[in-house]
């Protein structure tokens, strides 16, 4: 079996979600495979497709989880504020329950981490 097919097959089996603690003490849930942020209601990681299990959440600190911080600079309108998904250049329109909704590719809705200066 080809490696990429094996990886996709393995992702169909539930993997325990990680609760990651940042150095600041803030906690968030992350996919055990790609370490992207996931929401409590997710059954699959939107980043890599890993099936998620919430039965026994693993505890990790951010340093051990292999997380790093990245910075991306881009221009936004002068009156833009963090959390304004409708005007954010990163967001896109997706369908949810037959409605158009603004989605954040970074999965940061309601906890936007953008710093506007």
pLDDT at 4 over 90: no
Average pLDDT over residues 86-92: 83
pLDDT at 1 over 60: no
CB 62 within 8 A of CB 23: yes
pLDDT at 11 over 60: yes
Q: Coil, strand or helix: which one is 28?
A: strand
The rounded distance, in Å, linking the Cα atoms of 97 and 81 is: 27
The predicted structure's pLDDT at residue 38: 93
The predicted structure's pLDDT at residue 51: 93
CA angle 54, 57, 59 (to 5 degrees): 155
The predicted structure's pLDDT at residue 116: 81
Which tokens belong to 13?
């089996």
Q: Calculate the average pLDDT of the chain.
A: 82
Which tokens belong to 25?
């003490």
The predicted structure's pLDDT at residue 63: 67
Q: For residues 1 and 14, which has the higher predicted lDDT (pLDDT)?
A: 14
Task: Kindly report, residue by residue over 16-69, the tens digit of the pLDDT.
Answer: 999 988 888 889 999 988 888 999 889 999 888 999 999 989 887 776 666 666
Cα dihedral: 35, 38, 42, 43 (round 10) = 10
Listed residue (75, 54, 86) closest to 117, CA to CA: 75
């Amino acid at each position: 079996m080809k490696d990429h097919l094996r990886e996709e097959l393995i992702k169909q089996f539930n993997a325990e979600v990680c609760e990651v603690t940042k150095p600041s003490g803030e906690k968030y849930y992350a996919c055990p495979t790609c370490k992207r942020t996931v929401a409590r209601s997710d059954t699959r990681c939107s980043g890599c497709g890993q099936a998620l299990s919430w039965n026994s959440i693993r505890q990790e600190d951010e340093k051990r989880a292999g997380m790093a911080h990245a910075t991306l600079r881009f221009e936004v309108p002068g009156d833009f504020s963090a959390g304004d998904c409708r005007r954010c250049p990163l967001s896109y329109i997706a369908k949810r329950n037959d409605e158009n909704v603004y989605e954040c590719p970074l999965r940061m809705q309601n906890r936007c981490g953008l710093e506007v200066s």
